[in-house]
Amino acid sequence: MPDTRGSIHGQWSSRFVFILAAVGSAVGLGNIWKFPYITGENGGGAFVLVYLVCIALIGVPIMMAEILIGRRGRQSPINTMRVLVADEQANPAWRWLGWLGVVTGFLILSYYSVIAGWALAYVFRAGAGLFTGADADSVSTLFGALLGSPESMLAWHTIFMVMTMVVVARGVRGGLEKAVTLLMPALFVLLVLLVFYAMYQGAFARGVEFLFNADFSKVFQHCESLESGGPASCRFTGEPLLIALGHAFFTLSLGMGAIMVYGSYMPGNASIARATLIIVAADTVAALLAGLAIFPIVFANGLEPAAGPGLIFQTLPIAFGSMPGGRLFGTLFFVLLTFAAWTSAISLIEPAVAWLVENRGIARVPAAIAVGVLAWVLGIGSVLSFNLWSGESFQLFGKTWFDLMDYLTANILLPLGGLFIALFAGWVMSRAASRGELRMGDRRGYRTWRFLVRYVSPWLVVIVFLNAIGLI
């Protein structure tokens, strides 16, 4: 019955727009801010390889599963799960999967908006020429000044959250489509330009080696910088595996219903398999380009690859400060980074907003405000994590509020959500249902997908979990 349902929220105007919107969701802070610093903290090349394996064996099949579930249900993840549970006469407990996604989205958005606020702040710093002639020290002082001021971080966090609420309030087509179409190609062009800069001005060979030379003794080594710019302390642990797995989910926006809700607005005739491959390829290329732009500058300036969440804010300004046209490019870069974060944040909030509209009969505007304000309040904890609450007395399990939110969502809740999505699509949905929705002419393609989603992806997630808690 796939095409008999329609979404009350509207539909993307074409399959191309669906792909752009999904790439807009996938490509964000995860690629440009997070991927380089977690790669730096987890030893480089071997970590990248594990991450790529996770993308291929877990990311691709689960993304297909998420899109197909969304398009079949054509509602917010919570209601989609309700409808599909009824269709398949499955255990009602599966309905919790939709709720898990909505809660995870909230938690991610709360800290995502804080980091996006940094990008926004940097638009104005770059525009004011503050990086001109800057070296590693002055850039790090400038970054420290932002982190040390809860007021200004809170202000940027607020502005970004309002931006997110405004777009979501305007609905699926109202503005978002146009923004994504214009901005995503521009972001890619700028990333390539920065890679060229790194090629000529940075320690490119060392950067490439760090990123692609897989030294497996290092994948079990997790390093943390002692203080900004200080030497890193490293220890051996299975944690990098879990971080690579979690990041595969985070960067592809999987495991929380964002891609599911976008799938629910997808035209019925578009190929889910083809769209998935394009989205995954674009996302991976964006992350690798970011790594190639950043590590050569890190090494050329004697910076620490394990500098943590501040990595790109302490490396790229040095490049912008010395390159011809750096003021313009720097400003543009942070504008585009903000837009990349924006198109992702929208997908974090959309599942909850769609649900409020469907179930509570609330209009989009108040629904977007309600969800945004709640995530904003939660985000204050992340703002304070970098200053007033950074001390040990405010930490839980040795982590600040920000670290805890990041760890809990990316490394636990998203993989858990993804695991259940795979199990639902692979074991609960009938073959006729998944096959009908995927519409894969190619029988071998369908069989490969079903095999991966039933046996490979879930097991890999379980194994990495067990490893992380020390059971294997």
**What's the half-sphere exposure (Cβ side, CA atoms, 13 Å) at 357?**
25
220, burial (CB in 10 Å: exposed 0-12, middle 13-18, buried 19+) = middle
Please report, as a single letter, which amino acid is at residue 34: K
Find the shortest distance in angstroms from Cβ 393 to ligand PFF: 31
Tokens of 321: 């400060």
Nearer to ligand PFF, 381 or 415 (CB): 415
Nearer to ligand PFF, 253 or 338 (CB): 253
Find the shortest distance in angstroms from Cβ 406 to ligand PFF: 11
**Using the 8-state DSSP alphabet, how is residue 27 labeled?**
S
Find the shortest distance in angstroms from Cβ 307 to ligand PFF: 19
Nearer to ligand PFF, 253 or 457 (CB): 253
Tokens of 398: 């040795």
Find the shortest distance in angstroms from Cβ 32 to ligand PFF: 8
Nearer to ligand PFF, 26 or 316 (CB): 26
Nearer to ligand PFF, 221 or 253 (CB): 253
* Residue with the CB atom nearest ligand PFF in the bound state: 30
Find the shortest distance in angstroms from Cβ 87 to ligand PFF: 24
Nearer to ligand PFF, 47 or 250 (CB): 250
DSSP of 294-358? HHHHHHHTT--TT-GGGHHHHHHHHHHHHSTTHHHHHHHHHHHHHHHHHHHHHHHHHHHHHHHHH
Q: Are 316 and 294 in contact (CB under 8 A)?
A: yes
Nearer to ligand PFF, 29 or 191 (CB): 29
Find the shortest distance in angstroms from Cβ 182 to ligand PFF: 19
Find the shortest distance in angstroms from Cβ 424 to ligand PFF: 17
Q: Are 78 and 355 in contact (CB under 8 A)?
A: yes
Find the shortest distance in angstroms from Cβ 138 to ligand PFF: 28
Q: Are 197 and 400 in contact (CB under 8 A)?
A: no
Q: Are 150 and 387 in contact (CB under 8 A)?
A: yes
Q: 404: how many CB neighbours lie within 10 A of its CB?
A: 19
- CA dist 417 and 259 (Å) reads 12
268, burial (CB in 10 Å: exposed 0-12, middle 13-18, buried 19+) = middle
Find the shortest distance in angstroms from Cβ 24 to ligand PFF: 9
Nearer to ligand PFF, 50 or 134 (CB): 50
Helix, strand or coil, per DSSP, at residue 224: strand
- CA dist 369 and 225 (Å) reads 38
- CA dist 18 and 172 (Å) reads 11
Nearer to ligand PFF, 26 or 425 (CB): 26
Find the shortest distance in angstroms from Cβ 166 to ligand PFF: 18
- CA dist 357 and 70 (Å) reads 17
Nearer to ligand PFF, 24 or 321 (CB): 24
- CA dist 394 and 401 (Å) reads 8
Helix, strand or coil, per DSSP, at residue 234: strand
Q: Kindly list the residues in this chain that would bind ligand PFF in the complex (CB under 6 A).
A: 25-26, 28-31, 105, 108, 250-251, 253, 256, 258, 344, 347-348
Tell me how far apart the 2 most distant CA atoms of the chain are, in Å.
65
